Amino acid sequence: MMGTITGRTRVVGVWGHPVGHSRSPIMHNAALSALGLDWVYTAFDVPPARLADAVAGVRGLNLVGVNVTVPLKEQVPPFLDTLSDEARRIGAVNTIVNKDGRLHGDSTDGGGFLRALAEAGRPELFGQRALLLGAGGSARAVAFALAGQGCEVTVANRTGEKAHALAQAVSRCYRGRASAAGWGEDAGRADLIVNATSLGLSPHGNAMPALPPGVLDTRPFVYDLIYNPLETRLLQAAREAGCSVSNGLSMLVWQGALSLSLWTGRPLSEMPIAAMVRAVSPLAPEHPVLG
Ligand code: NAP
Burial of residue 229 (CB within 10 Å: 0-12, 13-18, 19+) is: middle
Residue ID of nearest Cα to ligand 1 atom 4: 136
pLDDT category at 274 given cuts 50, 70, 90 is very high
pLDDT digits (tens, 9 = 90+) for 185-205: 998 999 999 999 999 887 766
- From the list 228, 244, 260, 254, the residue with the least C-alpha distance to 114 is 254
Contact 197, 234 (CB under 8 A): no
List, in sequence order, every residue forming a beta bridge with 13; answer none if it has no partner.
42, 66
Of 41-45, 122-126, 175-179, 281-285, which has the strongest mean pLDDT? Answer: 41-45
CA of 126 to the centre of ligand 1 (A): 25
Q: Look at 34 and 281; give whichever has higher pLDDT.
A: 34
What pTM was estimated for this model as a whole? 0.94
pLDDT digits (tens, 9 = 90+) for 255-264: 999 999 999 9
At 221, the amino acid letter reads F
CB burial string 183-198: b at 16+ within 10 A, e below? beeebeebbbbbbbbe
CA of 134 to the centre of ligand 1 (A): 6
Check pocket membership of 70 for ligand 1, CB cut-off 6 A. yes
Contact 230, 247 (CB under 8 A): yes
Max Cα-Cα span within the chain = 60
CA of 197 to the centre of ligand 1 (A): 3
Cβ of 205: how many Cβ atoms within 10 Å?
9
Question: Is 162 assigned a catalytic role?
Answer: no
Residue ID of nearest Cα to ligand 1 atom 44: 138
- Can you tell me the distance from the alpha carbon of 219 to that of 215, in angstroms, rounded to the nearest whole number? 8
pLDDT category at 284 given cuts 50, 70, 90 is very low
Check pocket membership of 187 for ligand 1, CB cut-off 6 A. no
Contact 36, 65 (CB under 8 A): no
pLDDT digits (tens, 9 = 90+) for 45-86: 999 999 999 999 999 999 999 999 989 999 999 999 999 999
Check pocket membership of 256 for ligand 1, CB cut-off 6 A. no
pLDDT category at 41 given cuts 50, 70, 90 is very high
Nearest atom (ligand 1) to Cα of 71: 3
Residue 203 dihedral angles phi and psi, to the nearest 5°: -100, 25
SS3 177: coil
What percent of the chain shows pLDDT beyond 90? 86
Size (the chain), residues: 291
Q: Look at 137 and 153; give whichever has higher pLDDT.
A: 153
Q: Which residues contact 176 (CB under 8 A, 6 or more apart)?
A: none
pLDDT digits (tens, 9 = 90+) for 99-140: 999 999 999 999 999 999 999 988 789 999 999 999 998 999
Whether 231 has a pLDDT exceeding 70, the answer reads yes
